[in-house]
């Protein structure tokens, strides 16, 4: 057997173990180390594994992950997320489907200070669901809206998935952050159209909320919205102006969020400790996943499979868009079974060379991949966002939430189509850096 055949066998082995419900990180670690040892030697394998794991945990650029994660948890434990929702609720809550529109807007705003889709889903479920229930919103409609809108948490920078893609594909994290801004707002608009259209077709799904005086609307915006704008400008403004690197931006964002929380006097000592504890737990999981994926990637590199796959894709009698559609279909299917963080680290080393060889911009491709991963977090059987929402709202069956996400899934697909036809939507801001 030549190395490419061994690489193909390893891919089959990985998915076989994943379908057996084994932890993704351990699967990539064991298969990567075993394959590397088979193609080289046991001594070389241990040397590579030790060096890769050390370099991952000692990497200066990866410090950005725990910093942005901590930034989101500070916002959660200080009540900033509640103020964000309160501001959007008072502005749009009196409209038809107003609470759903407010939830989508709040997910977008919370995404500016939290780079995790599951964290956004959990936070908005705790904040928005009680209000939706109070005004008689349909359970499937309400929970599906939250689970789907939480995807905006990773489209609007900062985003942990963009960071992982940038690391795996060796692309500028700053450009990836900027590339996610306009597509994130585009997806927000599409989600709002879906929520409003469903309520227009069936008014019983989302009755209007209470009328709020304009004075209260203005004060809520100055309270919750203004704080988010300050934090977002501190992070993205500095990145865009070239004042600091993405790693430094993580530190600036965490510091700005902490300062806002302390000035508000709403972050308790226990909340501060919990934010650190949760951040360490999530960050350790992500870092170990990155290290395991790096080891598997080193093995895949010496098999020559990624390059061979790219050459095969280029020679296919199909237009590049058709090959892209096949890649996205693979992501949709794999997303049924594999977590988004693991999937991006597992597949980018394989599909990225294919996309580049077909002439797709690597930054634009990153945005498309994040959208494709967004489909996976709301589709069964994994559907991480759906399970998070169901965990918060135990009165709504999981399958009832899954039934409600269909139109939002169509909105994500439509967003991908728009970005494929008009790639400049994603590339406008990154190109300004040139």
Question: What's the rounded mean pLDDT across residues 125-140?
Answer: 81
**pTM listed for this prediction:** 0.80
Predicted local distance difference test score (pLDDT) of residue 209: 64
Is the pLDDT confidence value at 422 over 90?
yes
CA torsion, ordered 20, 23, 26, 28, to nearest 10 deg: 70
Predicted local distance difference test score (pLDDT) of residue 299: 85
By the 8 A CB rule, do 371 and 412 touch?
yes
Q: How far apart are CA 56 and CA 207, in angstroms?
A: 50
Q: Which helix (H) or strand (E) holds 374?
A: helix 362-376
Residue 204 DSSP code: G
Domain edges within the chain = 62-267+304-432
Is the pLDDT confidence value at 153 over 90?
no
By the 8 A CB rule, do 114 and 235 touch?
no
pLDDT digits (tens, 9 = 90+) for 295-334: 887 887 788 776 676 667 667 788 888 888 888 888 877 7
Is the pLDDT confidence value at 411 over 90?
yes
Average pLDDT taken over every residue of the chain: 82
Question: What's the rounded mean pLDDT across residues 29-33?
Answer: 88
Is the pLDDT confidence value at 382 over 70?
no
By the 8 A CB rule, do 199 and 217 touch?
no
Predicted local distance difference test score (pLDDT) of residue 410: 92
pLDDT digits (tens, 9 = 90+) for 193-226: 999 999 888 888 877 766 666 666 666 666 656 7
Q: How far apart are CA 176 and CA 369, in angstroms?
A: 12
Question: What's the rounded mean pLDDT across residues 282-286?
Answer: 80
How many angstroms from the chain centroid is the CA of residue 368? 12
Take residue 162 and report the two structure tokens written for it. 């963009």
Helix spans in 202-268 (H): 214-220, 226-232, 238-241, 246-264
Higher per-residue confidence, 224 vs 41? 41
Is the pLDDT confidence value at 416 over 90?
yes
Q: What angle do CA 50, 56, 58 make, to 5 degrees?
A: 95
pLDDT digits (tens, 9 = 90+) for 386-396: 878 887 777 77
Question: What's the rounded mean pLDDT across residues 371-379?
Answer: 84
pLDDT digits (tens, 9 = 90+) for 222-262: 665 677 778 888 877 777 777 877 778 888 888 888 888 88
Is the pLDDT confidence value at 95 over 90?
no
């Amino acid at each position: 057997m030549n190395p490419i055949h061994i690489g193909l066998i390893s891919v089959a082995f990985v998915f076989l173990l994943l379908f057996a419900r084994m932890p993704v990180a351990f699967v990539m670690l064991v298969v990567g180390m075993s394959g590397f040892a088979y193609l080289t030697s046991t001594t070389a394998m241990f040397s590579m594994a030790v060096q890769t794991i050390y370099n991952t945990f000692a990497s200066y650029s990866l410090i950005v992950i725990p910093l942005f994660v901590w930034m989101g948890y500070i916002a959660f434990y200080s009540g900033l997320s509640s103020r964000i929702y309160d501001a959007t609720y008072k502005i749009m809550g009196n409209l038809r489907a107003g609470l759903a529109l407010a939830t989508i807007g709040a997910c977008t705003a919370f995404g500016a200070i939290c780079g995790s889709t599951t964290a956004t889903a959990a936070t908005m479920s705790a904040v928005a669901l009680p209000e939706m229930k109070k005004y008689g919103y349909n359970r499937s409609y309400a929970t599906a809206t939250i689970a789907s809108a939480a995807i905006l948490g990773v489209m609007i920078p900062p985003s942990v998935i963009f960071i992982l893609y940038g690391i795996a594909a060796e692309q500028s994290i700053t450009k990836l952050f900027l590339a996610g801004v306009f597509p994130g707002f585009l997806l927000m608009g599409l989600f709002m159209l879906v929520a409003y259209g469903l309520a227009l077709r069936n008014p019983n799904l989302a009755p209007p909320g209470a009328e709020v005086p304009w004075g209260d609307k203005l004060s809520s915006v100055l309270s919750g919205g203004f704080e988010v704008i300050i934090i977002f400008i501190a992070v993205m403004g500095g990145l865009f102006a070239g004042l600091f690197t993405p790693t430094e931006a993580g530190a600036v964002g965490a510091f700005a969020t902490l300062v806002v929380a302390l000035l508000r006097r709403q972050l308790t000592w226990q909340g501060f400790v919990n934010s650190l504890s949760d951040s360490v737990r999530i960050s350790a999981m992500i870092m170990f996943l990155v290290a395991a994926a790096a080891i598997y990637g080193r093995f895949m590199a010496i098999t020559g499979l990624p390059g061979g796959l790219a050459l095969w894709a280029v020679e296919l009698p199909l237009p590049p868009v058709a090959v892209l559609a096949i890649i996205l279909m693979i992501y949709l299917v794999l997303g049924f079974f594999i977590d988004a963080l693991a999937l991006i680290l597992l597949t980018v080393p394989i599909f990225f060379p294919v996309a580049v060889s077909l002439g797709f911009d690597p930054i634009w491709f990153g945005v498309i991949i994040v959208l494709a991963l967004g489909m996976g977090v709301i589709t069964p059987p994994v559907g991480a966002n759906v399970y998070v929402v169901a965990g918060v709202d135990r009165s709504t069956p999981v399958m009832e939430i899954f039934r409600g996400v269909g139109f939002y899934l169509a909105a994500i697909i439509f967003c991908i189509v728009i970005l494929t036809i008009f790639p400049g939507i994603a590339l406008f801001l990154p190109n300004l850096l040139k």
